[in-house]
Amino acid sequence: MKTLNPAVAPVLKRLHYLLDVILTCVRWYVSYALSLRNLEEMMAERGIGVDHSTVHRWALKLLPVLEKAFGHHKRPVGRSWRVDETCIKVKGQWKYLYRVVDKAGNTIDFLLPAHRDKTAARRYFEK
């Protein structure tokens, strides 16, 4: 049996789907460039009928709680890391991507502001 973080358990209490389905949908929504309708279709292919608006409500409800509960459990970072800056197009609009990478090139954290701001990025990553 899975034990839930005490901060997350009350939020999941009244949800009527399997916990694995809920967490999979929310994880895929934030991890990959999928629309809510893509997720609805992907779940239907797996035999799970879930509406895109339901997935959206799950994300709105769970993401702040999950961030608060697990945000401090990030991977440990060695003494050597660097910030990489590039400009990318997201949903048709140009944004700046600041990415922190370790010696092995693994992404540790990132920031995606609409406008270039090196000072804000430096403050964000040095906290």
Residues 14 and 66 occupy one common structural domain: yes
Residues 100 and 56 occupy one common structural domain: no
Residue 2 domain flag: no
Q: Tens of pLDDT along 66-107?
A: 777 766 655 566 677 788 888 887 778 888 888 888 887 777
Q: Are 110 and 127 in contact (CB under 8 A)?
A: no
- The identity of residue 10, as a single letter, is P
pTM of the model: 0.50
Residues 63 and 106 occupy one common structural domain: no
pLDDT of residue 73: 58
Please report the DSSP string for 8-54 in residue order: THHHHTT--S-HHHHHHHHHHHHHSS--HHHHHHHHHHTT----HHH
Residue 104 domain flag: yes
Closest CA to 53 of 70, 78, 35: 35
Query: Count of domains in the chain?
Result: 2
Residue 39 domain flag: yes
pLDDT of residue 38: 92
